Amino acid sequence: MRCRLALAASLLALAFVRPVSGDGEDFPWLTDLAAARAEARKSGRPMLVVFRCET
Amino acid sequence: MKGVDLNTYAFDWDLTFAALLMNADGTVYHRYGGRSWESADARLSMDALTRLLVDGLAEDKAYRASGIEREAVKPLSIEEIPVFAERIRNNKELSCFHCHMATEAMREQAQKDKTWSPDDRWLWPLPDKLGLKLDPADPSKVLEISEDSPAAKAGLAAGDRLVTVNGARVRAEPDVQWVLHHTPPAGGTIAIAFERGGEQRAAKIELAAGWKSATPLEYSWRPAMWMLRPDPGFGGPDLDADEKKKLGLDPGAFAIRIGYLIDWGERAETGRSARKAGVQKGDVLLSVDGVSDFRSGQHFQTWFRFTREAGKIAELKLLRDGKPVSVSLPILK
């Protein structure tokens, strides 16, 4: 069974809750969970943590 | 899953898409994601996710204003589960830890510690178990109620909007699943607050012993299924409509082409046994013990694991070069 995993975390602000145009490069996804959590702590913003696994 | 704290990011690790709306202290407001035997994304909707994010921001603001502090939870990563740590030591090439491996490692550890029971298979039950079908695009809204179901007996109806389940706010299907996941298989009472025609109402759903059990079809999509025993020792893809037509089979009939007999790893004996019994690669499997109403090969594989007993014989009906063949398959432990 092959599986591809990607993990991404994004800090949320109201402006980001909208469809993303193009390839989403303007959308601040982080792939390091600890870094995202540290950034969320610093900024006081909530996070959306996404785990993606294809099985 | 390397280094991911399974206690903080607790979710159904068999999903293909699992999202947690949370804050930096580890408080999870809501989870989003879902899957069923129908398809990997049958329970997903961009509208629902967008609504969840907008509503979740308000919830985050209220949480921060409340001054509540999250209780500390002891972290647990997949690498810290002893059976998995041993696997890493024995397999230096194992570098990518897939989500479903977390479910499997926890089960293996519990089996080793003799704390596992077959009821522990029932993970993250869908609201369907209560007889509740929620709207994928607007998940707090009830689309349908199954007749004579626990939800119907509690007085819920299509069009109702769930507000809380056991006190937890419902904004996504996993909010209900979280409560069900933590309700024992022996049964219990689920407190529902809901809205109907602008009025706030309450209901109690009574769950009888055994409520949590999934049918083989309901369970068939889970990667964790493959680790359950006993297994037939072989498998392969479903035949497509053209292949079935060529063999004179009904388009809706169950048929898989045996593409492999297990000849690797700890289960190699099952494949050898199937071969010895007469199963050949390329055979088409039509039924087992007279049962053929499987929706897919995965459904058959799950049914076999749930219902067949080690030490007994399974009678297989096969086609080989278009001709019927019968095989008596010993079921290994």
Residues of A in contact with B97 (CB under 8 A): 5
Q: Is the peptide bond before B251 cis (omega within 30 degrees of 0)?
A: no
CB A23 within 8 A of CB A55: no
The pLDDT value given to residue B224:
86
- Which range has the worst mean pLDDT, A29-43, B32-46, B237-251? A29-43
CA–CA gap between residue B122 and residue B224 (Å, rounded): 11
The pLDDT of residue A25 is above 90: no
Residue keyed to tokens 């522990």:
B120
Predicted pLDDT of residue A6: 53
C-beta atoms of A46 and B16 within 8 A? no
- Which of these three, B66, B84, B118, is where a domain ends? B118
Residue B103, in any domain of the structure: yes
Who contacts B246 (Cβ-Cβ below 8 Å, separation ≥6)?
A: none
Residue A49 falls inside a structural domain: yes
Cβ separation B24–A1 shorter than 8 A: no
Helix (H) or strand (E) holding A29, with range, is strand A29-30
Domain boundary (B118, B145, B169) is at B118
Whether the pLDDT of residue B242 is over 60: the answer is: yes
- Look at residue B33 and tell me if it is in a domain: yes
What is the per-residue pLDDT for A7?
Answer: 60
Verify that B114 and B155 share a domain, yes or no: no
**From the CA of A24, how many Å to the nearest CA of chain B?**
15
How does DSSP assign B44-87, residue by residue?
Answer: --HHHHHHHHHHHHHHHHHHHHHT--PPP-----GGGSHHHHHH
Q: Which H helix or E strand runs over B20?
A: strand B17-22
- Which range marks the domain in which residue B165 is found? 127-207
Structure confidence at residue B5 (pLDDT): 94
Amino acid at B119: D
> Cα separation of A30 and B128, whole Å?
35
- Cβ–Cβ below 8 Å for A51 and B19: yes
Tell me how many domains chain A contains. 1
Residue finishing a domain among B89, B118, B147: B118
Tell me how far apart the alpha carbons of residues B215 and B143 are, in angstroms, rounded to a whole number. 22
Q: Domain for residue B144, yes or no?
A: yes
Same-domain check for residues B167 and B249: no
Structural domain contains residue A21: no
Chain-chain contact of A49 with B24 (C-beta, under 8 angstroms): no
Across the range B112-121, mean pLDDT stands at 94
Q: Is residue A20 part of a domain?
A: no
Do B59 and B132 lie in one domain? The reply is no
Interface membership of B50 toward A (CB under 8 Å): yes
Give residue-wise pLDDT tens across range B246-299: 999 999 999 999 999 999 988 999 999 999 999 999 999 999 999 999 999 999
Which pLDDT score is estimated for A15? Answer: 46
Asked if residue B207 lies in contact with residue B150, where contact means CB atoms within 8 angstroms, the answer is yes
Q: Is residue B296 part of a domain?
A: yes
Q: How confident is the model at residue A31, as a pLDDT?
A: 84
Whether A35 is covered by a domain: the verdict is yes
A9 inside domain: yes
Pick B99's closest partner by Cβ from A5, A37, A48.
A5
Same domain membership, residue B198 and residue B114 = no
DSSP summary character for residue B233: S
Residue B190: its H or E element: strand B188-196
Report the SS3 class of residue B69. Answer: coil
Half-sphere exposure of B140 (CA within 13 A, CB side): 20
Q: Which residue of B has its CA nearest to A33?
A: B4
- B7 lies in a domain? no
Residue B222 forms part of a structural domain: no
Q: What is the CATH number of the domain that holds B143?
A: 2.30.42.10
B6 inside domain: no
Do B38 and B88 lie in one domain? The reply is yes
**B31 contacts on A by Cβ (under 8 Å):** none
Token pair of B254, please? 């169950």
How much is the pLDDT for B197? 95
In a domain, B35, yes or no: yes
Q: Does residue B156 sit in the same domain as residue B184?
A: yes
Q: 3-state SS of B133-188?
A: EEECCEEEEEEEECCCCHHHHCCCCCCCEEEEECCEECCCHHHHHHHHHCCCCCCE
Q: How many domains does chain B contain in total?
A: 3
Residue-wise burial string across B120-136, b where 16 or more C-beta atoms lie within 10 A, e elsewhere: ebbbbbbbbbbbbbbbb
Q: Which residue of A has its CA nearest to B101?
A: A3
Tell me the percentage of chain B whose pLDDT exceeds 70: 100
Q: Tell me how far CA of residue B266 lies from CA of B22, B83, B117, B200, in angstroms.
A: 40, 15, 22, 56
Whole-angstrom Cα distance, residue B238 to residue A13? 46
Amino acid at residue number B71: E
Do B291 and B319 lie in one domain? The reply is yes
Give the per-residue pLDDT at A3: 43
**pLDDT tens digit string along B30-75?**
999 999 998 888 899 999 999 999 999 999 999 989 988 888 889 9
Domain that holds residue A10: 4-15+26-54
Q: B135 has which bridge partners? A: B138
List chain A residues with CB under 8 Å of B50: 17-18
Per CB-CB distance under 8 Å, the chain B contacts of A40 are 23-24
Check whether A1 has a pLDDT greater than 60: no
Helix (H) and strand (E) counts in chain A: 1, 3
Taking CA atoms, A37 is separated from A25, B6, B49, in Å, by 20, 15, 21
